[in-house]
Structure 1
Amino acid sequence: MRLLHFDALGRLILTDFRGKPIPPYAILSHRWSDSETLIEYISNGNYKEREEGSKKLRFCAEQAAQDGLQYFWIDTCCIDRWDNNERSKAINSMFQWYRNAARCYVFLSDVSLSAVTETAACSDWEASFRKSEWFTRGWTLQELIAPVSVEFFSREGQRIGDKASLDRLLHDITDIPLAALRNCPLDQFSTCERRRWVENRRTTEDEDIVYCLLGVLGISMPTTYGEGKESALRRLQAEVEGAGSAPSIIPFSRNQSFVGRELQLVELEAKLFSNEQTTTTLAIVGPGGTGKSQLALEAAYRTKQNNRSCSVFWMDASDIDSLYRSYASVAQKLSIPGCDDDQADIKQVAKRCVAAISARQCLLIYDNVEGTTRRPSGSSTTQAADLADFLPHSKLCSVIFTTTESNTAEALAPQNVTALHELTPDTALRMLQNRLTTPLSNAEQQEAMRLLEELLYLPLAIAQAAAHMNASSMTVQQYQAQLDQHKEAALKYSDYSSEGEQRIPGLRKTVAATLSLSMSQVRHSNAVAADYLFVAACVDRKDISLDLLDAASPRAREDAVKVLDKYALVTRRPAECALDVHRLVHQTLRKRLQVQGQLMQWTQRTIAQLLRVFPNDDHSNRSKWRRLLPHAQHALSHSLADDNDEERLNLAWKCAMTLCSDGRYEEAEELEVQVMQTAKRVLGDEHPGTLTSMSNLASTYRNQGRWNEAEELNVQTRKRVLGDEHPHTLSSMNNLASTYMDQGRWNEAEELGVQVMQTRKRVLGDEHPDTLGSMNNLAWTYRNQGRWKEAEELFVQVMQTTKRVLGDEHPHTLSSMANLASTYINQGRWNEAEELVMQTRKRVLGDEHPGTLFSMHNLAFTLQSQARHAEAFALMKRCSQLREQVLGEQHPDTQSSLDTLSDWRAECSDESP
C-alpha cells in the first residue's frame, strides 16, 4: 500500500509501505473527473497541473493534518494503473483499506455551501446533499460502509457532518439499514440484503457494479473486465455458493451458449485423474478460433460441479509473466506462506504453490501454452522442461493444456491429445442461434445452414457474423449477400500462413472475408474505429493501451472502441484501459495493409504515437514502460531502418534505455547498435548525438563484462569535439574510469575518477546525479584498493544525498546502500551490512535485475562471515543460478559467484569428518 505526505520542504512524497508497518492514514472518497491526478504525475512532480485532482489532493492533505494525520491515500494517486497485477490486488483489497483508515473524507464536488447563510433553511442544504451523484455510484457503497469514521465535505472543503450525525438522513437517501451505517458487523445481514444495497447505483463499467460488492460480501475473486455484468454476477454467485467447496479460481463465467464438442468433452472427462502413478496430462490442440479454451472451460466447470472436493485453477500461460501472476493468485487462494509479500521470489512462491497443489485433488488448466514455451531472444528451442518444473507430480492432479501447436501438444501430453476441427453443421447452427438477439425462423435456418457451410463452421467466424447481424439489424440473407461481395477482396488479404490454420482449407479466406465485411460497416459508422484497428495491427496484439489510440476526446475514443467491441473485433479490458485483438484478426489486418501498400505508413504513424506516450527510463515509470515495450519492439522490428526517420531513432533509443534499466542488456545492445550506426551515417562520427550513443553502448558493454569493447568506444574524440568540461565528455571519462576499474587498473581509474568528480562538482554541483555517480565510482576504486575509510566516507555522502534528493526507494539510492554494505562487509561490520536492505531493492527492481543479484551476492558474504554457512551457501547458489540465466555463463559477475560457490563447497568438504 502506498501513502502520500508532504515533507518539511512542502514536497509531495509517495511512500510504499509494502512489507512495513502501515502508519495511521486518512482516505479520500470522491467521484472521478477528467482532470484527476494520477500516480505518474506525483512521480514527475506535475501533479499541480491537474486542476480538479490537485484541489482534492490539497484538501485531503490539509484536512488530515488538522486531524493529526501525516499520511493520506487517494485511489488515483496511489495505485499504479499501468501495473495490472497491482490493480487486481487493489480491487480485492479496497474494502479493507477503507476499513483500516483512521478517517475517511467524502469530497462532494456537486454540493456547495457557499450560498448557505446562517438564516438559510435547512431544507435547502439537504436538497443539495440528497441530489449528490456520490450516492448513486457503485464504488462509493463500500466507501460509506467500510470506514468507522466517514465525514462529508462540500466542494469548498466545508464540513457538512459525519456518518454518525447524519445516519438517519443517509438511511433515508440510500435505504441502507441504520445498523450497517453504525458499523454493525456485516455478517449480521444476509447476502441477499447486502446485494440489494447496490441496486439503485451505477458504474461506468458494467462489471464494476458486481466487483464493488466483493468487500461488502467478503468475497475475493479475480476481476475479468470485458466479461459483462451478467457473467460477473454468475461468478459472484458461484463464489458465494461455493463457500464450502474446495478453493478454486476460474476467472471466466461458464459459457451459457456452449454447444457441441460433446464427444471431446466426454473423452476429456473420462481421462481425468486416470494416471495411477503421477499427474494426468491432457492437451487440446486446434487452429485459432476453434474453441479450445471454451472446451477447457466447460470441462473445468463440470469437474467443479461433479466433485466439490476438487480444486480447479485456471492458469493464463500466454506468456511467462501471466503464468507467474496466475500462480500468485493461486498461492493467495491457498494461503501459501509468503504469497502476500511483494518482496518474495515469485518462482519460489510458484514452487511452494505446486507442492501445495500436489497434496490435494486438483485440476489445472494451462490456457494458450505456446506463448510460454518459447525461449527469449528469438531462440527456437522450447522450454517444455522449464514448464514441467512448475507442474504438480501427483496422481491426485490432472492438467489440461490448450495450444495451437501440435508439436507442443505432443511434447506436453504425448498420449492424450484431443484435436479440434470444424464444428458439425447442427452444432454450428445452435451456436449461431445462441448468439443472435433475434430468433431464426424455420426458413431463415435453411439460409443459415448455407452461410455456416461457407464460414467453415468456424466458431470465430460465427461469432463475428452474429455480432455483425446484431449490430446492423441484418437478416441472415442480407449478411450472406454482403459477404459474397467481400469474398474476392478477402482472397488478397488471406495470404498468410500459420501451422494451426493450414489444417483447415480456406480458413484464412473465411476469416479475411468476415473481417472485410465488418471493416466496411465499421468504417461507415465510425471511421476512427477503423483506424484503431490499423494501429492495433502495427503493435503486439495483446494489452494494447488506449493511450496508443489517438482521439479528439476521451468520449470519442470510447465511442470508437465500443463500435469495435460491438462487432466482436476486439476484446475490451476496461480496467487496464486496454484491448486485445484475436491472433487471426491481427494477421489479416497486417496482410490487408500490406496489400494496400499502407503497412509502412501505418507503422510509422504508430511509432510516432508510441514516441509520444513512451516514458523515460526513470524508475517511477517502470510499470508503464514494461507494458509499452512489447508494442514498441513489435513496431520497431517491423519497420524499415530509414536514416531520415528521427521518430524511429528516438523510440529505439528510449527502448534501449529502459531495457538497460531493467538489466536486459542483450536486447538493449541490439537497439543501441542500430542507434549508433544510424547516428554515424546521418550526423557524422563527431556529432554529440553520435558520441552519446557510443557512450550508452559502452556502458552496456561494461554491464555485460565486455571491458575491451567498452574501452574502445573512444572518449578522446568526444574530448576533442566538445571540450574537457562538457557533460558528455565527463560522462565518457567516467565510463572509461569504470572500465579501468573493472580491469583492475586501479591507479588509472583513481586518477581519472578524481578528475571527473572534481570537474562535475564545479560544473554541475554537489547534488547532481552525475556528480554522485562519479563519487560512487571513485569510492569503488578506493574500496578495491583496500582504502576502506576513504571508500566509506564517499559512499555515506552518496547515500545520504541520494536519499535526500531522489528518495529512499530510487534505484540509485538502493545502489548506494548496497555499495556501503559491501564496504561494511570488508571491515567485518556484519550487522550494519545486513541492515542495508536488499529486500527494498528486490521490490523496486525485481528478483532478476543485476542490481538485485549484486545485493544477493553481498548478503551471502555477510551471512558467511557470521558463520551462517548454510544460509550463505543457499543464497550464493541461487545468485549464481540467476546470474547465469540473466547475464550468461561467461559474465565476470557470474564467474565470481560460481568461484565463490566452489570455494565454499570445498571448505565444507574439508571440514567434514
Structure 2
Amino acid sequence: MRFGGFEMRSRGVSPVVKRPAWIVPFERNSRFTGRQVQLTEVEEKLFSGGSTRTAIVGLGGVGKTQLALELAYQVRDKYRNCAVIWIPATNTESLHQAYLDVARQLGIAGCEDIQADVKRLVKDHLSKESAGQWLLVFDNADDINMWTGQVGSKLGSDRLINYLPSSKHGCILFTSRDRKTAVKLAQQNIIQLTEMGEDVALQLLQKCLIDPGLVNDKSNTKTLLQELTYLPLAIVQAAAYINENGIAFADYLSLLTDQEEEVIKLLSEEFEDHGMYRNVKNPVATTWLISFQQIRHRDPLVADYLSFMCCIDPKDIPQSLLPPGPSRKKEIDAIGTLDAYSFISKRPADQALDLHRLVHLATRNWLRKEQLLAQWTESVVERLEDVFPDDDHNNRSIWRTYLPHARCVLESSLGDRDRQSRLSLSWRYAICLYADGQWNEAEAAYIEGLEIEKKELGADHPDTLISMANLASTYRNQGRWEKAEKLELQVMETRKTKLGADHPDTLSSIANLASTFRKQGRWEEAEKLQLEVMETSKTKLGADHPHTLSSMANLAATYRSQGRWEEAEKLELQVMKTSKTKLGADHPDTLSSIANLASTYRKQGRWKEAEKLELQVMETRKTKLGADHPDTLSSIASFASTYRNQGRWEEAEKLQLEVMETSKTKLGADHPDTLSSIANLASTFRQQGRWEEAEKLQLEVMETSKTKLGADHPNTLSSIANLASTYSEQGRWDEAEKLKLQVMETSKTKLGADHPDTLTSIANLALTFSNQGRWEEAEKLELQVMETSKTKLGAEHPDTLTSMSNLAWTYRNQGRWEEAEKLQLQVIETSKTKLGADHPSTLTSINNLAFTWKSQGRVDDAINLMEECVTLRTQMIGINHPNTSASQTILLEWQTERLRVSDIVDDVPNIV
C-alpha cells in the first residue's frame, strides 16, 4: 500500500528483506506525552507528498527533539521500507562527524578517503533512486550562518544548505529554536511548538516522578506547573531534583520563589536524562544561554534588546520603549529574531511584547555573571527617563504602559549611579501614579525620591520642598491629614525663611495647608490662611493674576463648606468675570470658576441657574478637552447631580452611566473618580426605590474602596454609609445599624468626634434608631449632634439646622409636639434668613411643621401651611418633582379628611 510515495506494511506473509537503515542515537522516550496534533501535522506534511522539507520550531526546552524522536519511531513502525537517519546539527564539527558515521553505516564507497567530501557523498547517495525511501532528521538546526554561510575554502566547505539531498522518495525534518533559520531551510512548512497545556503537563510530571502521588496536592501541583511555564524541559528537570532529594512540591516551590540568584542555581542544576546527547547535561538555564550566545554573534542589536528587556517587567513591553536601532529595518529584524527564537511573543494590537519569564530570569543571570546587569539597568533608567511622559491627561495611555517597567527599575538596587536620571524618572513616575489615583504607590515613590533629594540637594532645596509638598498632597488624598499637616507646616516655614513670606511658592504652601484644614473641617483656620494668601497675592501679584484668582476660589470653597453661600457666590462671580477677561471664556481655569459658581447655586437650591452654568461648562470641556477628559467627566457628573436634585432621575441616570463607563475605560475600575461615579449612580437608583441595583453597586464600591484606599479612608466610610442608607430604605434596620455604628466609631477615631463627617454618621445612626421606635437613643444622639454642630459649625449652618429638624421629628414621634414645634419654628425662621424663603431646605422645614400642627389637631393651620409649601415647591422645583408630588398628595388627603369631618358635623341632628 502506498502513501505519499512511501509504502506502508500490508498484512500477510512477505519475503525476508534487508531492513532499511536505522541511524538514530536515542532510545524511544517512554515518557513522551501528548503532542498528537503536532505529530499528525508533521506526518501529513512529510508523507503526503506535499513537501519534502518541514521544520519544528520552538523555544529551547519545549520538546522539539522529543517530538522528532517520537516521529522517527512511528515512521519505523509504520513505513516498512523507510530508512531513518538522525544528524545532530548543533555545530559544524558534530554535523560533519554525523555525516561520516552515516556514510559508513550506509556503506558509501570512498567515505574513508581523507580527501573525500563526505557530505557530498551522502547527499549524492540519498538523492539516487536506488537509495529508496528515507527520512532525514537534522536536530538543533539553529545557526543560520552555519547553513547559509561559506564554511571555508577547502573541499567540503560549501554552504551546508547545498548538501541537503533531494529525492521524491525522501523527506527532511529539521528542529530549530530559530524560526528564521527554519524558514531558510523549510520555507513555509513550519510547525510552531509551544508550551504544553496544563493537563498534558500534569501527565508528563506524573510520568517523571518516583512518587506520582505527589500530584494529589492539587494546589501546589497547579502552582508548580505555572511557575515552570508548562515547559517540558523545566518539568523534567524539576522532577529529577524532587526525585533526587525526596522533597515535596511545596519545598521545590519555596526554592523557586527564593532570591533571583538562588532560583537560577536551581534552574542550572544538571540532571541525567536518557533522551539527551551523550555527555550533554542541559538544564533549562544553560539551554537558553546557548541560544543567547548564537544571537549575540549574529546581531548585537538583538542581544541589546534582550538585555534591555530583562531589566524591566517581562510582560507587556511597549515597542516604543526599546532603544532606537540604527534603522527601522534593523529594529524590525531584531524583534523578529527574538520572536523567531520564541524568546518573546507579540501583542500585535498593542504593539507590545512579552518576554518569556524563564528567559527573563536566565538572561539576567548571564548579565550578572558578566557584571553587566547594573550597566543595563542604568541604560533602562536613562531610556525611561527620556521617554516617560508628564501627567497630562492625553498621555495617560502612554504612562500606563510604562508604569510597570519604571516600577521594576526603580525598585531595583542596581543602576543608581546616575542619580539625576533616576530622580527625574522617580518624579514623573510618582506624579503619574498620583494622577491615576494610585496614592499608596505614589506615596512610596515620593518618599524614595525625597530621601535621595535630601541627601543630594539638602532638606531646604526648592526641589526637595516640592517633593515634600507632593507627598503631603498624597497624604491629604489618603485622608491622612495629620501627616499632611505636619509636612505642609514644615514646607511653609522653610519657604518663609528661605524665600520670604510673600514668595509665590510660599503662598502656595500656605494654600496647601489651608486645604488640609478645610478637609478636617477646621474652617476658621482654613479661612484665616486663605484670606492671608488672597490679600498677599493681590498686593504682590495683582488682583487678576491666576494665583490670586485661585486663592479667591479656595476661600469661596471654604465659605461654601460653612454654608456662607452669599459670600461664596460673591467671590466666585468675581473670579469668573476676571478669568473670562484675563484668560478667556474657554480657558480651563475659567471653566473651573463657572463650575464652582454652579456648585454654590446647587447648594442654594437654585437648580435652574446651576443647570445653565453646568451645561455651558460641560459642552465647552467636551470641545476643548475631549469627552473623556477627567474634568469633562466631572462636569457631566455635576450636571447629573443637578438633574437628580430636581427629581429628573432618568436624565441623571443616563449621564451617570456615561460617566461611569468612560471612567472605567479611561481611568480604571478602581480609580477613586470611577468609584465616585458608581456611587452617584447608586444614589440615583436608591432615590427611585431601585434598591437591589443600588445595593449591588454600593457593595462593589465599598469592597473596592477598602482594598484600594483602606478601611478607614473617608471615601470608604462614605461608601459604607451609603450602603447603610439603602438597607434603611428597605427596612433592614439591623444591617443598617451595624454599618452605621462601624462608620461612626471609625470616624470618631480617624476624623475626630466633632468633624462634620462624624456628626453626619451620628445623625444617620440616630435616624435608624428613630425608625425602629428607639426614641430615647435617637434623641440622645441628636442632641449631641445639634449641640456639637452649634459649637463647631455655628447656629445658622445648614447642617446645624438639619440636626435641629431631626431632633424635632423625634420629639413629634414621641407626641412632644410643643418641643417639636418650638424647634421647627426656629429652623424655619433661620432658614428663611440664611438660605431664603424658597430654598428647598426651608420648604422641607415648612412641610415638617405642617405635620406637627396636624398632629396637634390644628388642621386648618396645617393645611394652610402645606398649601404654601406646595405653591413654593411648584414654583421652585417644579410640579413633577417627587417632593412637590408628596406634598400635594398629603395636602389632598388632609383636605379630603377635613371635608369628611365637616360632612359628619353637618349631619348631626339638632337636639332641642
TM-score in terms of structure 1 length = 0.45
State the structure with bigger RCO (CA 8 A, min sep 6), 1 or 2: 1
TM-score in terms of structure 2 length = 0.45
Who wins on radius of gyration, i.e. which is larger?
2
